[in-house]
Structure 1
């Protein structure tokens, strides 16, 4: 341990490596996850009085919370509308319940402010609350430096125990118990809802892939289409295919709508497989690939920036832009934050969504220019990101007094709001402020992991005394603070808000910001449908829950 005390960088990265190794341990559908594993390891090492400078913790927490806000910003503001109001209600239920229960436990059992904040963070399974609450405790003027250190240590210890029980509870409750309470088979219900959204077409299981690609190109020999123009042929097939090339003898012709086809022409067409199958009856027999008529299909990722697209379904978008059918361009994937949504006709698009478009290059380029901007995330714009974190840090220094209670966002809350605004502003016109998703995710994950490791090391000496004092209370709090808001949300969401059952289960996992829960839900559902509810509440709760830390600390500290 002497080596770890003398070399804090060694202690820090050992906590990360060992913690993520512990986090991989699995018991049934439950894994602790790297963050909880890191906190456990760092608490154990911290009991030997190994510590890291507090400035390291502050810097990495700022990186984490800004990246979190940046990634969630486009969807957060997109969800502030009338259609999402019913999901917003679930987030308010979560917010009121966890604050009320934490405050009630603090008063009933005479808990110190650190323990109460740790219970709130752990039971809500929201790691960001650890940072915002710890920072808020450091600003309480009535505490000595020793008390501040002690209470900040209590945050981490209470968080660890409550997180473990809260995590197990939310995973089992949403994935196993809720379907029974709703009297559904989650896999069947998800498939039925998806079929309804897709206009009656069946969806795939989670471990299934299409045996044949949906968008294809074929070459046909003209026998039946002799004398018909390209435009007439495309119209006869309902506009679901496009003619990309015509070869007459040794000449390659430009396939304009007015071009008249003649016997023995070779025609290359591109479209959905269902339409391509019918093409042979209109044109003639299919032939092997012909040199010169092997136009490849291009793929482009486009961020939705067109204002009219926000809130529109994919079906409505395709009808508003006839280029989809005229030029043979198809949406094959919808990426929202880091979640892939079904590219069905009824999927509602939001500003900042990234669409994967597939089609011939000419038509693809014309369409991209109308609906959005090609995603270019080759390198991080550190000018934009740096000023964003500066703005967030300055915002966090503002103190407002509500009566006798001093309220401040702190670095965490300030950087979260700055991240939301900067991420949203970037999504409106993605020609500046690049922050590649992989880079943002890496900074977010590493920032949180380093912050948690520093917190655990500092909290180590206070861990055992707190566990002896409140050992039985912490597991109870972790379970109760999950079951109460989740059960209320289940009743309100179904009886009053009429949310579809698979979406409601996903939304309740999202209001708890529980990635392990939604992972388990989608495994049981064998479908990504519950993600449609999860993404809305997850985004809103990611903003709201971190703010509960300073609120609880401010109220109890007063």
Structure 2
């Protein structure tokens, strides 16, 4: 039995792996338990790690430190890869307002944290731990710990302890704020639902199909290239039914439009009125009627899986001229985009192609359409990105007012590189596509390793710290959670007239809190909370990581 005792109490690699596996597996099992319909999910890994650390089960300090930092990098980098493509587009249209409000929640939370620090005299490192727990933001915790270690050359266990103490009521406080707004503003769900269609910006930009009859004499005899140059809006003419011959055709740029020709147009709700005014009146002819006219023409979705296509615009491929087909829509991350000639294709996009069976078979070979290739992880771009992120995070640079050089660290560096590489990588032929399941696996492994290490490291002094005044941190955390949400939420509703469903997503997104989003989605019964959550999540996550580091650097 000596080998078993050595395995459990020793300091070997096998012991470390065993402890980590126990903490993560049991923590995940506990995370499935719901109390009043709310689950703390993977955070149970942290709590179980604290428990094992408290009873004396330890892992070698160097191994613990490495696994914690590596787990943090995997977690942060996979988040950056997920939010990167939507990071810059989230500032467009109504997203500007939502991101300003979300930034207000972040900055007001930081201000409240600093005020509590001044009033109570608690160390700023501990307050940052409370802040990270109160806003349920684990990357902020990682950034704060890593920055503290860089500055002081040692670790501060109170950061993780404060996070663990504040986290549970952080989750509850966010959901209670959502419920409170419902009663404060006397929200009527039927009324909120009736205003959705008029205010839904995403529906205005998604691709839709319309049938038009050519009625404008000024475009009679002009080809499609000339017509598109005149209108200068995003649209695609998918099919043409010639009035003189009754022939249905997949148009090319040189196709001539004549009087009373019928065309099937793909555009968005914003542009269709302009296109209709230029070309002719809209007619009642749905897609099924077009399909009946010519059985030789088929429509099929093809996945972009060839690396050579990655980053190239639709126009540069000249698919109409080469294969006699037409791309009408591009589905990216579940959203249908208009197949404008300037749109750059990315690995994993699914394009809707119209043409003959033979033509589509040929273009299918050209574009790839190999699901097997999509399932293969692109590890090269992932580890190149991580290497660049670590490099960027290690560069010291001076900021006026801060006495020592600032580093983005192992949290900020990989986050920024991941956002940039996922957005602009395809433009430079770098394959950044990763399936959602692969990204989620990478992220969950990273956060599991990180939380297990944080819990084991903080467990030894956890109870003692809480008994000796740490219980007050719960109250501070509630203040940090609730005050910014009540202030900004009221401004959003009263000043900016936000729909309640949008407001729920804003609140959950500004706190980067999945349990709150789950509650909001279940309550709303539609996807508006998820849309606003996704709109503010990228910037909020970035600000949470950066502000946690700045608090340590400025006021330590």
Q: Is the pair's TM-score, using the shorter chain for normalization, greater than 0.5?
A: yes
Question: Could you say which residue in structure 1 is the equivalent of 2:549?
Answer: 550
Cα distance in 2 for partners of 1:434, 1:378 equals: 10
Helix, strand or coil at the partner of 2:406: strand
Aligned to 1:165: 169
1:51 aligns with 2:59: yes
Whether the 8 Å contact between 1:299 and 1:357 is mirrored in structure 2 is yes
Distance 2:345 2:327 in 1: 20
Aligned pairs (5 A) from 1:374-523: 377-401=374-398, 402-428=401-427, 432-523=431-522
Determine helix, strand or coil for the equivalent of 2:302: strand
Q: Does 1:178 align with 2:181?
A: yes
In the TM superposition, what is the alpha-carbon distance from 1:408 to its structure 2 partner?
A: 2.0
RMSD: 4.3
Conserved? CA contact 1:187–1:526, under 8 Å = no
| 1:85 paired to 2:89 | no
Name the CA shift for 1:427/1:83 in 2 (closer, same or farther; >3 Å).
Answer: farther
Flag structure 2 segments of 5+ consecutive residues without an equivalent: 205-242, 250-256, 267-283
The match for 1:10 is 18
Structure 1 residue 431: deviation in Å? Answer: 5.8
State the SS of the aligned residue for 1:139. helix
In the alignment, the residues of structure 1 paired with residue 402 and residue 203 of structure 2 have an alpha-carbon distance, to the nearest angstrom, of 58
Q: 1:474 to 1:389 in 2, by over 3 A?
A: same
Number of the residue aligned with 1:270: none
| Equivalent in the alignment of 2:37 | 29
Q: Deviations over 1:517-554 (max 9, x none)?
A: 11111111111122221111111111110112211111
Q: Give 1:74's aligned residue.
A: 85
- Provide the secondary structure at the position in 1 that maps to 2:286: helix
State the match for 1:134 in structure 2: 145
Is the alpha carbon distance of 1:49 and 1:118 closer, same or farther for their aligned partners in structure 2, counting shifts above 3 Å?
A: same
1:527 aligned onto 2:526: yes
Native 8 Å contact 1:187 1:525 kept in 2: no
Q: Residue by residue, what CA displacement relative to the aligned partner does 1:79-116 show, whole Å, maximum 9, x if unpaired?
A: 34565321221232122122112222222222234321
CA 391–198 in structure 1, closer or farther in 2 if over 3 Å, else same: closer
CA separation of 1:496 and 1:471: change in aligned 2, threshold 3 A: same
* Alpha-carbon distance in structure 2 between the residues aligned to 1:185 and 1:2: 63
What is the CA distance between 1:450 and its match in structure 2?
A: 0.2
Q: Which residue of 2 aligns with 1:298?
A: 300
* Cα drift, residue 404 of structure 1: 2.3
Paired residues for 1:34-433 under 5 Å: 34=42, 36-47=43-54, 48-52=56-60, 53=63, 54-81=65-92, 84-141=95-152, 148-149=154-155, 151=156, 153-174=157-178, 176-186=179-189, 189-190=192-193, 192-194=195-197, 197=200, 228-230=246-248, 239=264, 275=286, 298-301=300-303, 335=333, 356-358=350-352, 360=354, 377-401=374-398, 402-428=401-427, 432-433=431-432
State the alpha-carbon separation in 2 of the partners of residues 400 and 196 from structure 1. Answer: 44
- How has the CA–CA distance of structure 1 residues 482 and 294 changed in structure 2, closer, same or farther, with 3 Å as cutoff? farther
TM-score between the two structures when normalised by the length of structure 2: 0.71
Query: 2: CA distance between counterparts of 1:89 and 1:351?
Result: 30
Q: Secondary structure at the match of 2:301?
A: strand
Contact 1:493–1:504 (8 Å) recurs in 2: yes
Q: How far is 1:188 from its partner?
A: 5.7
1:94 and 1:485 in contact (8 A); partners too: yes
Query: Secondary structure of the residue that 1:28 maps to in structure 2?
Result: coil
| Distance in 2 of aligned mates of 1:547 and 1:198 | 30
1:530 is paired with a residue whose SS is: helix
Output one character per residue of 1:363-404: Cα deviation in whole Å (capped at 9) or x when no partner: 8799999x9x99963323333222221111122222334342
CA distance 1:198–1:117, change in 2 (3 Å): closer
* CA shift for structure 1 position 177: 2.7
Q: Structure 2 CA distance, aligned partners of 1:199 and 1:420?
A: 22
Is the Cα–Cα contact under 8 Å of residues 330 and 350 in structure 2 kept in the other structure?
yes
Displacement after TM superposition at 1:130 (Å): 1.4
Quick one: distance in 1 between partners of 2:490 and 2:484? Answer: 10
**Structure 1 unmatched ranges of 5 or more:** 202-224, 242-272, 284-291, 310-320
Q: TM-score, normalised by structure 1?
A: 0.71
Paired with 1:532 and 1:354, the residues of 2 have a C-alpha distance of 21
Change (3 A) 1:367 1:496: farther
Instruction: Quote the offset at 1:22 in angstroms.
Output: 1.0
SS in 2 for 1:298: strand
Compared CA separation, residues 199 and 489, structure 1 to 2 (3 A): closer
How many residue pairs match? The answer is 463
Bigger proportion of residues as helix: 2
Check conservation: 1:304, 1:354, Cα contact below 8 A: no
SS across alignment from 1:299: strand
